[in-house]
């Protein structure tokens, strides 16, 4: 029955169950069964399949937004510079057009508005659309009242300029809210942009990692069609390789994950050389030492190096040592089950998705492994092991530029950890 629900979620919002972990979906289903007083799975399925309202409630239970103001601050600094350049090119012919999707509870589109206001733009010089599949989070965005979890990082001066303290949080200034048009929308809807002009800037970050490959490509093509020829697409760190493999080129601003259409290349004659398949090395007879820098090769199908401890993000490191022991003993199914049980109890975490990626590698499930590594990087952009393994996958696929970018990021994190 759970498989039926997974297929429903995929058809409705394109969600790939493997991208979030089946334990997350099962937990959401149990929550909704309790909320509807439907203790029997078959009864809940009957109710769910006939109720669009309950389908939406389940979507919102599964897709828990993780967002805060000025997440990836370098992106907003780059946006301010690029927007000034674009505004000068337009010479007042029209307002800049920007969109944030999914916009969740509003932190991203409102960050865009604050960045442009701080850069000297008048409100009439830009127009921001914000879309999300969830009615609930759109309602939260319209309310504009945020708790402390929406304010992270060391630089919070913007809160003094654009918010006022209120019981229960901080209220966003109306002048910022007025810059953003909020509405519900689903990227899988072919008519979503039917009446919309192309955008100068599109923010679509950390959404594609939830889709299977076919849906990723479909959504990316939709975004490309809706982007001005010289427009900029901002995506998540785990999605950069997808963009670079499909007609987009990074702008080169560090940590911004900003892309434009790649210049056309002259046609080349096929040489008949095939890309190397990314396969695990020969199984070692005994555990191998962990290298100081992960090598760009696949992990052994029998020997899995223990993870680098991350006390701030992994509350119980013994779990991952136990997972490593199970994996090294060839008990992959038990190791996978332990990962899923940990995330069901404590919520999604980078280390859990990283290990699910390794276990998928062991089973030669390459696409699934890449999906898990991207999810780990989404939750922890500094996860050097996930960066390295995803880079090796890209290298095997022939995306050498994308692989080198990830290798450099991984090496930079390891140097920082040693320092």
Q: Which pLDDT band holds residue 189 (cuts at 50, 70, 90)? A: confident
pLDDT of residue 266: 54
Give me the helix-helix angle, 2-13 and 52-62, nearest 10°: 90
pLDDT of residue 285: 32
DSSP 305: P
DSSP 179: T
**What's the rounded Cα separation, in Å, for the pair 182 and 128?**
9
**pTM flag (> 0.85):** no
pLDDT of residue 284: 34
Q: Are 185 and 133 in contact (CB under 8 A)?
A: yes
Q: Which pLDDT band holds residue 262 (cuts at 50, 70, 90)? A: confident
**What's the rounded Cα separation, in Å, for the pair 390 and 371?**
9
pLDDT of residue 186: 84
**What's the rounded Cα separation, in Å, for the pair 26 and 3?**
10
Q: Using a CB cutoff of 8 Å and minimum separation of 24, what contacts does 134-138 make? A: 134/56, 134/59, 134/60, 134/63, 134/102, 134/104, 134/184, 135/56, 135/184, 136/60, 137/60, 137/65, 137/103, 137/104, 137/105, 137/106, 138/103, 138/182, 138/183, 138/184
Taking CA atoms, 357 is separated from 8, 292, 376, 397, in Å, by 25, 21, 9, 17
DSSP 51: -
Size of the chain, expressed as the number of residues it contains: 419
Nearest to 129 by CA among 78, 77, 202: 202
The segment with the largest mean pLDDT, out of 26-40, 236-250, 292-306, 400-414, is 26-40
| Choice between 319 and 266, residue whose per-residue pLDDT is larger | 319
Residues sharing a CB contact under 8 Å with residue 204, sequence separation 6 or more, in sequence order: 101, 102, 187, 219, 223, 233, 234, 235
| Choice between 303 and 165, residue whose per-residue pLDDT is larger | 165
The segment with the largest mean pLDDT, out of 73-77, 187-191, 392-396, is 73-77
Nearest to 102 by CA among 69, 140, 134, 68: 134
* pLDDT tens-digit series, residues 206-253: 888 778 788 889 899 999 999 999 999 999 887 888 888 888 998 888
For the cut 80, the answer to whether the pLDDT of residue 32 exceeds it is yes
**What's the rounded Cα separation, in Å, for the pair 144 and 140?**
6
* Ranges of H-type helices in 166-295: 174-177, 213-225, 240-244
Tokens standing for residue 260: 């434009």
* pLDDT tens-digit series, residues 366-390: 888 888 888 888 888 888 888 888 8
For the cut 70, the answer to whether the pLDDT of residue 304 exceeds it is no
Average pLDDT over residues 125-140: 92
Rg (CA), the chain: 22
Residues sharing a CB contact under 8 Å with residue 244, sequence separation 6 or more, in sequence order: 250, 259, 399, 401, 402
* Ranges of H-type helices in 107-153: 107-118, 135-143
């Amino acid at each position: 029955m759970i498989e039926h629900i997974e297929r429903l979620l995929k058809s409705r919002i394109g969600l790939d169950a493997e991208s979030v972990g089946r334990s997350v979906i099962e937990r959401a289903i149990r929550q909704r069964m309790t909320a509807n007083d439907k203790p029997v799975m078959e009864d809940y399925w009957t109710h769910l399949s006939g109720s669009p309202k309950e389908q939406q409630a389940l979507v919102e239970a599964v897709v828990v937004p993780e967002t805060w103001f000025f997440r990836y601050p370098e992106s907003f600094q780059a946006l301010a510079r690029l927007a000034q350049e674009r505004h000068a090119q337009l010479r007042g012919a029209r307002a800049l057009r920007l969109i944030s999707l999914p916009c969740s509870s509003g932190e991203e589109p409102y960050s865009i508005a604050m960045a442009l206001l701080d850069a000297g733009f008048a409100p009439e010089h830009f127009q921001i659309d914000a879309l999300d599949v969830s009615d609930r989070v759109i309602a939260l965005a319209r309310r504009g009242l945020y708790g402390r979890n929406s304010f992270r990082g060391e630089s919070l001066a913007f809160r003094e300029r654009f918010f006022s303290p209120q019981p229960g949080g901080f209220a966003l200034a109306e002048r910022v809210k007025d810059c953003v048009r909020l509405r519900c929308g689903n990227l899988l809807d072919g008519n979503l942009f039917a009446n919309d002009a192309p955008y100068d800037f599109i923010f679509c970050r950390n959404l594609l990692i939830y889709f299977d490959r076919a849906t990723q490509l479909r959504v990316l093509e939709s975004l490309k069609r809706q982007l001005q020829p010289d427009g900029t697409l901002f995506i998540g760190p785990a999605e950069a390789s997808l963009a670079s493999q499909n007609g987009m080129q990074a702008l080169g601003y560090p940590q911004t994950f900003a892309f434009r259409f790649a210049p056309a290349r002259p046609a080349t004659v096929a040489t008949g050389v095939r890309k190397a398949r990314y396969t695990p090395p020969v199984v070692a007879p005994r555990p191998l030492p962990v290298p100081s820098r992960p090598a760009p090769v696949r992990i052994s199908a029998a020997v899995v190096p223990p993870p680098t401890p991350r006390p701030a993000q992994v509350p119980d490191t013994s779990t991952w040592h136990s997972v490593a022991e199970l994996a090294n003993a060839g008990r992959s199914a038990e190791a996978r089950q332990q990962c899923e049980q940990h995330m069901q109890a404590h919520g999604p975490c980078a280390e859990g998705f990283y290990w699910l990626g390794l276990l998928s590698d062991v089973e030669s499930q390459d696409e699934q492994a890449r999906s898990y590594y991207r999810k780990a990087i989404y939750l922890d952009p500094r996860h050097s092991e996930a960066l390295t393994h995803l880079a090796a996958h890209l290298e095997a696929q022939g995306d050498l530029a994308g692989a080198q970018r990830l290798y450099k990021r991984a090496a930079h994190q390891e140097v920082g950890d040693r320092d």
